[in-house]
Structure 1
Amino acid sequence: MSSTGSEIAVKPQGTAQRTKTRELWRRLKKDKFAVAGGIVLLTVIILGIAAPLLTSYNPYDAVLDQRLLPPGTGGHLLGTDQMGRDLLTRLFYGARISVMVGFVAVAIALFFGIIVGLFAGYYGGLVDTIFMRGIDILMAFPYVLLAIAIIAALGPGLFQAMIAIAIVGIPYYARIVRGTVLSLREKEFVEAEKALGAGNLRIIFKHILPNTMAPIIVAATLDVGWMIIAAAGLSFLGLGAQPPTAEWGVMLSEGRNFLRVAPWVSIFPGLCIFIVVLSLNLLGDGLRDALDPRLKE
């Protein structure tokens, strides 16, 4: 009897979750721009993963007698850079690094931001004061300046740049989660769980956290684009990925000295950053409307 009763209790919940997922997907499919953004982003990710299968060139092998070839010449579809390296190949490999940095940095910022926001919002009082004053200190500095200061302490490099922009992003998620938790902790389902004897951690992670996911997903999707731009900007300044790494910010930086004679060396990496960030913004806007249709209305 007990097992049958538990199955009866679980099935409606699973069915309701599947129904919510299908409804979300139905709403998202209606937004053609969001679907286009998702397709473009997925295509870029696939091209980055399949880079060794798509090109026979090595992204790091210099061929000095083929320096700065225009697009379409010498078997190079997008031309070559100042070291004679195939530009299309480096763009494929650069997609791996640039997109990966954006997603990993958001994941790190998201993890710590969620933890800080959940505990600060749920417990309030001294815990809230300590956590949020630390967040206020981080937010007191301009984002780029804070990232540069962190890299100055850690040293230049791709990993250091990723950690720096992740730290800079923590306050963004902490404040979003805290604000949502403050509105949820007094709800009836939380009071019911407390009356049933549920512990604070169970309430926080099993009941409150799932109800904060909608704004978090939207914020994270939109923030990946910002992280990609920030990482590319730091690499452009010589603080992130270092030459000869095939990273879009590095490629932009290397090509700026040849804008008059070979503008394609900088144009194509810049265009890749623009397309990926635009696709992420379109996808994020679509997710926002799908998760909360009232915003669109």
Structure 2
Amino acid sequence: MSSTGIQLTKGTQEVIRRGKLAELWRRFKKDKFAVIGGVILLVVILCAIFAPLITHYDPNETQLEQRLLPPGTEGHFLGTDEVGRDMFTRLVYGARVSVMIGFVAVAIALFFGILVGLFAGYYGGWIDTILMRCIDVLMAFPYVLLAISIIAALGPGLLQAMVAISIVGIPYYARIVRGTVLSLRNKEFIEAEKALGASNMRIIFKHILPNTMAPIIVAATLDVGWMIIAAAGLSFLGLGAQPPTAEWGVMLSEGRKFLRVAPYVSLLPGVCIFLVVLSLNLLGDGLRDALDPRLKQ
């Protein structure tokens, strides 16, 4: 059933869906910066996936006789770090870890945030009160302080950092989804479904959830960049990924000791973080404008 309460055949629904996707793509590709952001992100993801095919070096193999070779050196065009590891190799393998943390952390936060927002917004009453007071407790702490506190309880490590920033991100999505559900639950097509005897679970997941996806997609796209920065920051402080793991935050932390003699050791992972976060922000802005052109106007 459509949002107008009119029953449509599957074929008609498929035609409408394809038409909407075509219109979405037409609006999206008009934003050149969003397209550039998407291309940068795609290149980074492909490099991370095919890292063993791009470089033949081991990201953790040390060669002390080749330590701190400058960029442009034959065989190491981005140079080597303080223990002779190839910088390009570590950046490529580091993309695997950093980008994976961002997307997985957002996926976890998105899953629990959507569930909390859906049930709180749809049922209201004491369910809404209990769930949203729990969200308020999480939001009462500064994000970074809460993440550090969680890691202090769990112990430092890559998995622990991922869990910490995921928990920190749950309130963000829960409030977005709850607000959208509150505006949808009394719409005519929802009342029509109730009149037809549809269960609450069917209404929530088949009719309300799809109508909340536009703001969720935009929020998630923008939030991946924040998650990558947060994970890199925790690794920089020694609370996330641990040496010798090839991760951009770890590389920043290790390179700060050599800023005077070899600034590229810290500069290169910093540039990678900047480019990925910038590409995600550009992509998120483009999706926002494509999904709701009224925002741009």
Structure 1-normalised TM-score?
Answer: 0.97
Aligned mates of 2:234, 2:139 — CA distance in 1: 19
Aligned mates of 1:37, 1:9 — CA distance in 2: 37
- The match for 2:140 is 140
Matches within 5 A, 1:137-286: 137-286=137-286
- The match for 1:3 is none
Root mean square deviation, CA, Å: 0.9
Percent identity at matched positions? 79
CA deviations over 1:177-234 (Å, ceiling 9, x no partner): 0000000000000000000000000000000000000000000000000000000000
Give the gaps of 5 or more residues in structure 1.
1-6
Offset at 1:73? 1.3
Aligned mates of 2:268, 2:156 — CA distance in 1: 25
- The match for 2:118 is 118
1:289 is aligned to 2:289:
yes
Aligned mates of 2:251, 2:183 — CA distance in 1: 46
Offset at 1:11? 1.1
- The match for 1:92 is 92
- The match for 1:4 is none
Offset at 1:155? 0.4
Aligned mates of 1:279, 1:249 — CA distance in 2: 18
Aligned mates of 2:86, 2:10 — CA distance in 1: 56
Aligned mates of 2:193, 2:72 — CA distance in 1: 66
Which amino acid in structure 2 is aligned with residue 190 of structure 1? I
Which amino acid in structure 1 is aligned with residue 135 of structure 2? I
Write out the 4+ residue segments of structure 1 that deviate beyond 4 Å after TM superposition: none
Q: Secondary structure at the match of 1:27?
A: helix
Structure 2-normalised TM-score?
Answer: 0.97
- The match for 1:56 is 56
Q: Which has the larger displacement, 230-239 or 46-55?
A: 46-55
Q: Secondary structure at the match of 2:94?
A: helix
Aligned mates of 1:8, 1:79 — CA distance in 2: 61
Offset at 1:74? 3.9
Give the gaps of 5 or more residues in structure 2.
1-6
- The match for 2:4 is none
Offset at 1:8? 7.2
Which amino acid in structure 2 is aligned with residue 62 of structure 1? T
Aligned mates of 2:183, 2:234 — CA distance in 1: 37
